[in-house]
Each structure stands twice: as C-alpha cells, then as structure tokens.
C-alpha cells in the first residue's frame, strides 16, 4: 500500500453515495457457530466496517483496520463501539496471539495471511474470501498478484482445520458474477 492507495480509497468512499447500506458477507453467517464472542476479532482492510459492525451487533469486540480515513469515519458513525485503526497493512505490526477471529475480505496479501498463525489465538477462526484468477476473463486489467490461483487458498492454511472451503462463480452484489474463493479455518489448540 501507499499514500496513493489511501487517496484512491478515500476518493472512492467520499464520492460514492451509499443510499443502500452494504450487507455483510454471507460467509459470516456460516462462521457464526464457530466464533467466540468473548475474544477480540480483527477485521483487516475493513472498508466501511459492515462486517465488523455485524459482529459488534452480536456481542463481539472488534478491531478494524483500514487505509482509508473516509471508510473509518463512515464505520465509526454507524458503530461507535468499533475500535478502528487508520493504518497501511504493509506497515502495521499486529500483536501475537491477540485475536480469536480474523476477517479478511477481498484484500489479498499472502504474507499477511501466512502471519495469521502468529496473530491468532489457539483455537481461533480465520474467515477469508477474495477474488480468483478467473476474474481476468471479465477484467483483464486486474493485477494477477491480487488474485488467488485455483485451489491456492487452502494451501495458505496448512496445519489449520478447514471448516468450510468454496471456490467458483457466484452473483456479485452490484449485479453480474464474480469468481471467489471462501474459507473458514480453525487454528489448532
């Protein structure tokens, strides 16, 4: 990330009017039986904080991190209990064994995902969903390094217990289709 990323995301959130409140990711509902509300959840690249707020409304303490001050302002207005950090995830060090849950939606930074094993508490849950390489058929301009290869996501969670894994095309929130990989995994006790 860079200051350019921060400016780009701030402009996007500032200029885009949200007349309809975005919905949380459906995979959260699937993950709820595995989650411990007594721990601290981490929402990486939380955007508008919709997923974080969904957890807060269910009794979770949540720390959300994003590079956009506009997104954080939006999220905090709608959920004052949310703990939010304005930071570039390339520069932020997160403490070891501090989180019972880690959310990572549509932000692919492989070394950060591999670092989940340091950040998560024993028995903790990671929920990850992001675009796959098949998206290049719809948008060849997307940098391939931000897209998962087919079957890659479970390999990033070696030694974790995979509770749910799905990969393929599904409807996008804005219409059309998107190719995604989704995973819920539990770190060993």
Q: What's the rounded Cα separation, in Å, for the pair 35 and 80?
A: 22
As assigned by CATH, the class of the 1-17+36-92 domain is alpha beta
Give the per-residue pLDDT at 154. 98
pLDDT value at position 152? Answer: 98
The pLDDT of residue 108: 96
Q: Over the range 34-60, which residues count as b (16 or more CB within 10 Å of their CB) and which as e?
A: bbeeebbbbbbbbbbbbbbbbbbeeeb
Report the CATH architecture of 110-189.
3-Layer(aba) Sandwich (3.40)
The confidence score (pLDDT) of residue 10 equals 63
Residues 132 and 47: their CA atoms lie apart, in Å, by 20
Residue 173: is its pLDDT beyond 90? Answer: no
Please, where in the chain does CATH 3.40.50.150 lie? 1-17+36-92, 110-189
pLDDT the model gives residue 19: 53
Helix axis angle, 3-15 relative to 69-78, nearest 10°?
50
pLDDT digits (tens, 9 = 90+) for 108-134: 999 999 999 999 999 999 999 999 999
Mean pLDDT (the chain, rounded): 92
Work out the percent of the chain whose per-residue pLDDT is above 90. 81
**Residue 171 in tokens:** 């409807």
Tell me the torsion sign for CA atoms 181, 104, 18, 91. negative
Q: Residue count of the chain, please give it.
A: 189
Kindly indicate the confidence band of residue 175, based on its pLDDT and cuts at 50, 70 and 90: confident
**What is residue 174's predicted lDDT score, i.e. its pLDDT?**
75
pLDDT of 21? 64
pLDDT, greater one: 74 or 10? 74
So what's the pLDDT on residue 28?
Answer: 96
- Residues 25-72: pLDDT tens digits? 999 999 999 998 899 999 999 999 999 999 999 999 999 999 999 999
Question: Is residue 144 classed as helix, strand or coil in its secondary structure?
Answer: helix
């Amino acid at each position: 990330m860079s200051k350019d990323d921060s400016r780009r995301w701030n402009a996007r959130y500032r200029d885009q009017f949200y007349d309809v409140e975005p919905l949380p990711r459906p995979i959260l509902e699937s993950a709820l039986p595995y989650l411990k509300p007594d721990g601290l959840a981490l929402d990486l690249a939380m955007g508008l904080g919709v997923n974080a707020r969904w957890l807060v409304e269910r009794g979770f303490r949540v720390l959300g991190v994003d590079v956009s001050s506009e997104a954080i302002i939006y999220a905090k207005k709608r959920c004052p209990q949310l703990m939010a950090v304005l930071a570039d995830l390339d520069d932020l060090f997160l403490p070891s064994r501090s989180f019972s849950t880690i959310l990572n939606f549509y932000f692919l930074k492989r070394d950060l995902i591999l670092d989940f094993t340091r950040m998560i508490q024993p028995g903790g849950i990671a929920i990850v969903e992001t675009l796959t390489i098949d998206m290049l058929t719809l948008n060849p301009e997307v940098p391939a390094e931000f897209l998962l290869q087919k079957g890659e996501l479970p390999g990033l969670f070696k030694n974790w217990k995979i509770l749910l894994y799905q990969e393929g095309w599904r409807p996008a929130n804005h219409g059309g289709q998107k190719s995604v990989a989704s995973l819920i995994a539990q770190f060993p006790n």
